Structure 1
Amino acid sequence: MKNYIKHHEWNIIEEGFDPHVNQISESIFSIGNGRMGQRANFEEEYSGETLRGSYVAGVYYPDKTRVGWWKNGYPEYFAKVLNAPNWIGIHVSIDNQKLDLAKCKVEEFRRILNMRSGYLLRSFVATLGDGKKVKIESKRFCSMAHGEIGAIRYSITPINFTAKATLSIYVDADVVNKDSNYDEKFWEEVYKEASEGRAIVTAQTKKTFFHVTTGMTYTIESAGKKATFDRVNIEQREKFAGNVIQLDLEQDKETVVYKYAAILSSENHPKDKLVENCKSVLDEASSKGFDKLFEEHEKVWFHKWEECDITIEGDVAAQQGIRFNIFQLTQTYTGDDERLNIGPKGFTGEKYGGSTYWDTEAYCLPFYLATAEQQVARNLLVYRYKHLPKAIENAAKLGFTEGAALYPMVTMNGEECHNEWEITFEEIHRNGAIAYAIFDYVRYTGDEKYLTEYGLEVLIGISRFWAQRVNWSARKNQYVMLGVTGPNEYENNVNNNWYTNTIATWTLKYTLEAVDFVKKDDSQAYQNIVKKTKLKEEEETAKWRDIIDKMYYPEDKHQGVFLQQDGFLDKELLTVKDLRPEDRPLNQKWSWDRILRSCFIKQADVLQGLYFFEDNFDQETIRKNFDFYEPMTVHESSLSPCVHVILASKLGYKQKAYELYLRTARLDLDDYNNDTEDGLHITSMAGTWMSVIKGFGGLRVKDGRLHFNPYVPDQWKSYSFRLEFRGRVVKVKITTDGIETKLESGSPMEIVVKDEVVKIS
């Protein structure tokens, strides 16, 4: 665990330059706006260890799958969001000495991510090889008001010299992904141009042929006036265009470069209009200027914080942690485009390829349901509806028929692109998460029409998959599910994972309920769905009911626990306390063989099911299972702590809940898992929000009403949050004296606080 980030309510602060944590900081200080994102790389040249990262939403490359032993059904490729053209570059050379923090003496280094206003500020003093000292200050943002604009204010102040300087201001599409096979580059040049004050490069991705046009323009001021240059050289080479400027730097006089970038993709513009439209965006940015652009950007952030902020009194580290998580979630996904989704690393790194996982449905959806207008969450579900034909194709590749749908573990366009057999073929519980998200959305919003418009078709496809995936055990006289991997990926190819069996039958039940609802709500729409899906209602629903009635669930009645899978009790049952510190994390220290044979659990598995379906189990059942499984859980998935916080809070285990909350809230800020340098854990950040709202706040939605069963952690004085719920806005403050609720907008409503009905208006 690292501990170099200063605690502050609204800012993320790093003081002093340590190259050993630079890549971690590049992740932590990332900025974005839903359409693009940028790691906290330096504008100037840097020859030290760095992960260059600029990303454009929806643009990906199908990197060919390379495995040692090909298996039928494997996807042909792994989709990855690409490191996109570099728009931030401003290289500085003073008297032919490059400004490079890996080679200079660096003092007074300070990096600040201002979450309130959404910008990155960096300043330092560098001493060059000949003793010249220069002060640099950089402020940049990706505009939340104009999703295709990035802006930088880069100032240079000589401290002890007057000299000639050379600035290279450019855009560069000659970039590479760190995770590329054999250092392959994924971009090809389509077009470039450069003139004094402007440069534009259009590049296309190999295979997928996405076009991205990146343009830049700039102005330079000295002592508040437009600077004069000795000369401007046009610089062009393959996939690169820029200006090289020579100017005079005068001691103690600030020279400021205002750089404006426009990043446009063929996802949103006709390819033949990209350059023309890029020029229009650049003209708009430069005519408004840095301060006006920032003012518009800041207003959007102020509005966003009004919607989704959580305030904590009495614990600055916790306050910083929750705001950091909310900030990153908000700048990763805005909900404006139903073609987009949320990758586990968002726009902060390459790991996981930037693709969509079941994390969105299981962890992210509740955050957007409660903190944004309803359409934002709806778009996350529509994304999966539009991928239903691909889900049916994915299932067909594995031998399933008649419209059975298997949603991918990893995807960009609906097609499976994950190539580890124990995940691709066996971690099928992801299908249940898609179904649960539909239920969760309808339960929260009351938007039952979604079932008629989109939801039922998806549920039918998923239920057909489950009906074909189970098989009848004559020995048990029950249905079983063989050869699966549950949420705990430290167990592969097991039989009868309790969670998978449970979510499969739950999906079948919910599909039957949805069939009944749509049939009554809109009989003509129902007939259209029957025709479109070729549903054999009587035959198929009878099979679903039979599976529901006769499914096998492993359990140990002596201990009163559900078994994670058949044979789990054959393991040596140790606890995490039995592990030596040098054994952690297991996934970095142990062989896979040793992990698979151990009892240790990566993340909530049985407990994931108890979290989803808590109303089906009494308190004592939940307690016994929590007490049995949590001590064996190493929480080496970022998605694990939040589920345990919610269950621990429900059980009254307040200290355990808080301990795990800190782990999830500051997972990246303190680099708990030694992997933040790869990028942030964006989807698990939604789990942090759930830890506060569903864990400490005890929020549930039952019978169309908000229920609260709150408490205040001992380390806090109070906390407050805001919820959007069915056209209303409710402000909640929880103190040691009780709960205060205020209806900020919307019609009067009833809520339930600790089983007592309260009317607010």
Structure 2
Amino acid sequence: MTSTAAAEIREPTPGRSSGFVTTSALPELDHLFRLFVLTWDPRGASAQAPESTRAIGLVEALLERGARVAIVTEASLGALLPAVEASIAEEPRKRLYVAADGGAHMFGFDHRGRPVEIAPTADHEDVLSFMMGELARPFGIEPEDVLVVGEAFGPAGLADILEQQLALEAQMGPFAPSRDPTWGVVESGFDVAREHEIESLLTIANGYLGMRGSLAEGSSVSRPATFLAGAFEPSSDVSPVPELVIAPDWGRLRFTVEGEPFAVETTAMERHHRTLDLRRGLLLREGLGTGPGGHATRIRTAHLASLANRHLLLEAVEITPQNFSGMVVVDAVLSGDVKSGSGSSHWAGFAPRQGLVGPILVGETHGGLELALASHTTAADPGSLEMRCEREIGPVSAMERCTLHVRLGEPSVLHRVVGLFTSRDGTVPVQRVELLEREAAATSFGALLGEHVAAWQTRWRQSDVEIDGMPWIERALRFALYHLIATVQPHDPRCSIGARALSGEAYRGHVFWDTEIFMVPFYVHTWPEAARTLLLYRHLTLDGARRKAKKLGYEGALYAWESADTGDETTPEFVRSPIGEIVPILSGLEEHHISADVAYAIWAYAQSTGDERILREEGAEILVETARFWVSRGAVKADGKFHIDRVIGPDEYHESVDDNAFTNWMARQNLRYAVAIARGVGRAKAAALGVTPEEISRWEEIAARMYLGEDPRTGLLEQHKGFFDLAYVDVAAYSPRTVPIDVLLGRERTRSSQVVKQADVVQLLALLWDEFSPDARRKNFLYYEPRTAHGSSLSPGIHALVAARLGLLATATRYLEQTASIDLGNNMGNAAGGVHAAGLGSLWQAVAFGVAGLRTTPEDPETLIVEPTLLPGMRRVSLPMQLRGRSLRVHALPGAVEVHVVEGAAPIGLVVCGEAGARHTTRADPGRAYVARRKDDRYLAWEEIEP
């Protein structure tokens, strides 16, 4: 390091300098830093020097809380490493960096805590600039979140600064945002144009309900909504359909500061941030503003829907007057004054009342669903806060009005506990909610919060994916997994997942093939119990599928394209276009691949989990009835092939087509599964359903005769009959675009062109990979990829998956980034209607099945094939994976792949591809770890290593 660089770090000027926070005294008290740059030689810790030992212990504590720490030292890494290894555990070490040799070399640490050189020669003339480029900006860390501490402090001063940072975090409690930006989604300011979109992104949910992240006090554009999973009432759309029930607003808070409302639209806001803490499942808000009377106030809030007790909802509020002492009023409201986006009021009436602990709002929907909400607000520290709460009961609301006497600079904290039950829970809701409130009143708020956070920690241990080198994708993936975890009810088969999860009203909460094809795989490999429950929803709605098939003149079961609570078709027959045109919707009549999609998901779940019970009972019944549907749906024609006419495939730009390849291939799989079940573990159930040997033989024959659309000359699949004769359109010539391509081309030109809305044949490649030769996979992807306009959020993630498997790195990267931006970048333009749950699931699949290359084969579900394709910039991809009762941890590295068999009752097979097409296989024992090292573009044989 040159003397100039040394002076910049070692002798900083107090305050803010060039955006960084440098210090020669303790830094400002109300700021949590995310990156600490420390000029320090911690080797003294190895000799147990007391202050160095304390300092390095505090460094480890900050690393454990998600901060990143860079140590700048004149020592070499080799000299420093023993102190690091002796003092900092492997997991937090991943967020530690060392600028060794005075900054000439920058090192990070991998998943095993070993040093990895980030750059062979850092520009040690400007160490801070280098660190901002390498360690801050890629993670979204702003300059003001970087604290630079020079060596002049010595170990004691350094320890004091770090200790203060930890104390500040403890003082902030639940209001403290994550120090790791890859675990948070932050929205600053107040943008009227984006507010509905932001509300979707910041949704909190627990599978039982979901609440959009709207402002607690509301605004002129706020669209608050709490959705009750699995509960539906009629909409007021042009074509009425069932829609998710909008529950009373439980999170409403109104603030009055010295008689003036505190709200973003009426208060001059100096700063305003909302943060979705993905790791803890918290929605945080901080606002610092001054009202018309000149009273400056900082308000922080935290909201959560408990993952530990799904009937429990918590809020915390902190109010700190900045320039006055006086009176603040907080109204904690339960409001039944809610309507859906369609304009429907689901509630027939309310009966607010006084409860034993707090006010209760009891309501009943037009359909007879009963609900009870109870609320109780208390002071976090009753002994130090002067507060009086009164209850107010209105026609459709119940409220606690709490008056606080606040003092200058002193935070006043309130805790609110809300309980919610409905008649769907099997008992009288008001009795259950009063009991819950009494139990919660006897438990500390901190304990309730801790149970919720612990539940999230359990889920993240089974789900979290680390992508070293691509923090933007890592954060997007965590955002995706947060919503997938938050939106599933793992113990209630009456609830599936709608296309927009529990975050918005688009599609009215209806369930599509999105669930089985795009979301269920995530649950299968991280939360099998939840996957099973989602599939049992299809069994509970099987009678609705039977009714639909019968109505259309078919046998067996045809699942609703859009399903709600009964399984009957809920796709609207028509919609009104933006220009007022009435447009017919044919999906409910013709998009029949949904039945094969459900069958595929059941089979894939059973293969991946070893759950034969579902194949003996519920799954067997579904497979039998869907097979019966396909037999009645098509016919053998003069060419001797079985044809399925007049359908819509995944590419919804082309309606009423014959022999859609995706539909036919998936129908064939459906029939094959039914044959296997009826002759195997499900034969008793099949017999009970009246299946005869002749019927099984008929399924087998039709599967063998299925028209598949293969062109023997080119090796291509024709997406549907006549597709190859349609006009070619250069889709790329219409990019970039802000509207779907079918709007640009017009409906008729789109239908007569080779323009594909979303992955169709490419989707088939992803699902039935082993049905196609390597040559056919590549040819079909290269043919259909440039013809696909990605008019659906379901499409880019699947393209990323297949492109990664094919080794098309640039293409895979482009589609991975596109998928990551669907919601966080709103690149579909409709995130206001809720997050795109299928897109979120496809992002996980793109990384797990594409980049990490994890898959099994139909012939051997007990063996995991690992074929990673790391994309440019990725230094490591690590993820957990459950397969056949084993818990695995997979680490894909540029030069190797590691698999740790964390738990399991028996060994599992592992396979990598070696030279000349050879495969290296090993039987991996539980509790052990294995590595296959890479040589050129192939892998050597597996070796056992230390776990």
TM-score by length of 1: 0.91
Q: Does 1:320 align with 2:481?
A: no
Q: Does 1:709 align with 2:867?
A: yes
Alignment match of 2:836 (pick from 675, 681, 685): 681
Q: 1:350 to 1:634 in 2, by over 3 A?
A: same
1:71-90 matched pairs, under 5 angstroms: 78-90=241-253
- Provide the rounded CA distance (Å) in 1 between the counterparts of 2:525 and 2:259: 55
3-state secondary structure, aligned to 2:755: coil
Aligned counterpart, 2:293: 130
- Say which is worse superposed, 253-262 or 574-583, in terms of deviation: 574-583
Q: Provide the residue aligned with 2:366 in structure 1.
A: 206
Q: 1:591 Cα deviation (Å)?
A: 4.1
Where in structure 2 are there 5+ consecutive unaligned residues? 1-136, 142-180, 574-584, 914-918, 926-947
Root-mean-square deviation over aligned CA pairs:
2.3
Q: Which residue of 2 aligns with 1:159?
A: 322
Indicate yes or no: 2:913 matched with 1:719. no
Matches within 5 A, 1:217-232: 217-220=376-379, 225-229=384-388, 232=389
Query: Deviations along 1:677-721, whole A, 9 cap, x unmatched?
Result: 211112321111111110011111120211111122111111111
Match of 1:663 in 2: 818
Q: Is the 8 A contact 2:801 2:812 kept in 1?
A: yes
Alignment of 1:56-455 (within 5 A): 56-63=228-235, 66-67=238-239, 78-178=241-341, 180=342, 183-194=343-354, 198-207=358-367, 209-220=368-379, 225-229=384-388, 232-270=389-427, 273-372=428-527, 374-401=528-555, 403-420=556-573, 421-455=585-619
- Does the CA-based 8 Å contact 2:202-2:276 persist in structure 1? yes
Residues 602-641 of structure 1: matches in 2 within 5 Å? 602-641=757-796
**Residues 303-334 of structure 1: CA deviation (Å, up to 9, x unaligned):** 11111111111121111111111111111114
Query: Separation in 2 of the partners of 1:136 and 1:49?
Result: 21
1:385-436 per-residue CA deviation (whole Å, 9 max, x = no partner) reads 22222211121111224x4444543332222211244100100001110110
Superposition deviation, residue 480 in structure 1: 1.9
Q: Quote the Cα distance in structure 2 between the aligned partners of 1:300 and 1:17.
A: 32
Structure with the bigger RCO (C-alpha within 8 Å, sep 6+) is: 1
Contact 1:5 1:670 in 2 (8 A): no
Instruction: Choose from 734, 737, 759 the match for 1:579.
Output: 734
CA distance in 2, matches of 1:686, 1:608: 14
Aligned-partner residue type, residue 653 of structure 2: Y
1:39 lines up with 2:39 in the alignment: no
- Note closer, same or farther for the CA distance 1:221–1:499 as it changes in structure 2 (3 Å cut): closer
Structure 2 match to 1:74: none
Shift in Å at residue 219 of structure 1? 0.9
Deviates more, 1:298-307 or 1:573-582: 573-582
Residue of structure 1 in register with 2:176 after alignment: none
Identity, % of aligned positions: 28
| Cα separation, partners in 2 of 1:184 and 1:305, compared to 1, 3 Å | closer
CA distance in 2, matches of 1:391, 1:385: 10
In 1, Cα distance between equivalents of 2:613 and 2:357: 53
CA distance in 2, matches of 1:300, 1:583: 41
Question: Is 1:456 equivalent to 2:620 in the alignment?
Answer: yes
Q: Give the counterpart letter for 2:516 in structure 1.
A: E
**Contact map agreement 1:342 1:683 (CA 8 A) in 2:** no
Q: Structure 1 CA distance, aligned partners of 2:425 and 2:470?
A: 43
In the alignment, is the contact (CA less than 8 A) between 1:223 and 1:254 conserved in 2?
no
Q: What is the aligned length?
A: 730
Deviations 1:200-228 (A, max 9, x none): 11112212x11121111101357962423
Amino acid at match of 1:160: N
- CA separation in 2, counterparts of 1:339 and 1:237? 34
Moved more, 412-421 or 114-123: 412-421
- Residue range with higher mean Cα deviation, 590-599 or 429-438: 590-599
Gaps of 5+ in 1: 68-76, 520-525
Distance in 1 (alpha carbons) for counterparts of 2:834 and 2:139: 16
With structure 2 as the length reference, what TM-score do the two structures score? Answer: 0.74
Q: Cα distance, 1:454 vs. partner? A: 2.1
Retained in 2: the 8 A contact 1:222–1:253? Answer: no
C-alpha separation between the residues in 1 aligned to 2:685 and 2:481?
A: 41
Specify whether residues 239 and 33 from structure 1 end up closer, same or farther in structure 2 by C-alpha distance, changes over 3 A only: same
Q: 1:5 to 1:627 in 2, by over 3 A?
A: same
Conserved 8 A contact 2:852-2:877: no
Deviations 1:576-622 (A, max 9, x none): 21215346433665644443333221211111122222211111111
Q: In the alignment, does 2:729 pair up with 1:570?
A: no
Does the 8 A contact of 2:352 with 2:394 survive in 1? Answer: no
- Paired amino acid for 1:22: E
Task: Give the CA deviation at 1:558.
Answer: 4.5
Deviation (angstroms), 1:752? 1.0
Considering only CA atoms, is the larger Rg found in Structure 1 or Structure 2?
Answer: 2
Kindly provide the amino acid, as one letter, of the partner of residue 193 in structure 1: R
Question: Which residue identity does 1:377 align to in structure 2?
Answer: A
Query: Are positions 1:48 and 2:220 aligned together?
Result: yes
CA positional deviation for 1:340: 1.7
Tell me what 2:827 maps to: 672
Q: Is the 8 A contact 2:386 2:405 kept in 1?
A: no
Kept in 1, the 8 Å contact 2:139–2:472? The answer is no
Task: Measure how far apart 1:193 and its partner are.
Answer: 0.6
Give 1:409's aligned amino acid. E
Query: Would the aligned equivalents of 1:265 and 1:274 in 2 still touch at CA under 8 Å?
Result: yes
Q: Is 1:406–1:465's contact at 8 Å kept on the other side of the alignment? A: no
Q: Deviations over 1:11-60 (max 9, x none)?
A: 2222333333222221111111121111111222x333222121222221
Could you tell which deviates more after superposition, 150-159 or 284-293?
Answer: 284-293
| Aligned-partner Cα distance in 2 for 1:158–1:587 | 55
Q: Distance in 2 between matches of 1:607 and 1:534?
A: 37
Measured against aligned partners, the alpha-carbon deviations of 1:145-167 in whole angstroms (never above 9, x if no partner) come to: 11111111112222223343333
Deviation at residue 518 of structure 1 after TM alignment: 3.1
Does structure 1 residue 29 correspond to structure 2 residue 191?
no
